Amino acid sequence: MVLGLLESGGPQHGHEIRRQAERSNVQTWGGVSIGALHRELRTMETHGLVEAVRTEQVGRRPVRTIYRITEDGRSELHALRETAVSRLHFGPDPLGVALLFGRVGDRSEMLRLLARRREALALSRDGVASECRRLTEQGLISAFDAAMFHRREMQLDAELRWLEQFEKDVADIPDPGPAAGAERAVSEDQPTEEMP
């Protein structure tokens, strides 16, 4: 993110980069931590990826160091971009873990939890679409930026479609009830007779 902003926007100080990151909310959807941005800039400077151009002070604001990307930084940005775009990346999936290992025995409880997830997904999708419209109408984002919003909207839509089908599948499964689980536990504890 930092290298990309310095390449596209020219020399900037850490506070400008942080503001752009916060405006885009990249820490939520991109997994980028902006809390240690100034430390990361100094680390990148140590590695020769960025260099300090000058320091400046405006009014009573703190003195700020302006950084620019170096040739090594452009090479690193190219490599990072290639990896991010061409390779598939999958993160942790708490829903998958919960469904496989923490199954809810009561079907009505499972359906209630799935309905809550469906509502949250729909709200999130609608929020993404609304924000994209607002930013586009105000001329604050480019068509390329809008395409990233549409990508997220489509991802949320796909998750919603899967969830709706999964809810139907769960609703069609016969409810074993608590007694069936207890009977299974008892039969598993009893010794089995060997077949002759």
**Eight-class DSSP state of 191:** P
Which DSSP category does 51 fall into? E
Can you tell me whether residue 89 is helix, strand or coil? coil
Asked if the model's pLDDT at residue 130 lies above 50, the reply is yes
- pLDDT score of 151: 94
Tens-digit pLDDT profile for residues 25-62? 787 777 778 778 889 999 999 999 999 999 888 888 88
pLDDT tens per residue across span 150-190: 999 999 999 999 999 998 888 887 765 554 444 444 445 55
Q: Is 29 left (phi over 0), alpha (psi -120 to 50) or beta?
A: alpha
- Residues above pLDDT 70, as percent of the chain: 87
Q: Which tens digit of pLDDT belongs to each residue from 138-147?
A: 998 889 889 9
Q: Check whether 73 has a pLDDT greater than 70.
A: yes
Going by the DSSP 8-state scheme, the letter that residue 12 receives in this structure is: E
Number of alpha carbons in the 13 Å side-chain half-sphere of residue 7: 15
Burial 4-43 (b: 16+ CB within 10 A, else e): ebbeeeeebbbeebbebbeebeeeeeeeeebeebbebbbe
Indicate whether 80 pLDDT > 70: yes
Percentage of residues of the chain with pLDDT beyond 90: 47
Residue pair 15/62 in contact (Cβ under 8 Å)? The answer is: no
pTM, entire model:
0.67
pLDDT, the chain, mean:
84
Alpha carbon of 180 to those of 2, 105, 176, 184, 189: distances in Å?
57, 10, 6, 6, 15
Task: Give the residue, 51 or 23, on which the prediction is more confident.
Answer: 51
CA atoms of 163 and 159, how far apart (whole Å): 6
Cβ neighbours around 128 below 10 Å, total:
21
For 59-70, letters b (16+ CB in 10 Å) and e give: eeeeebbbbebb
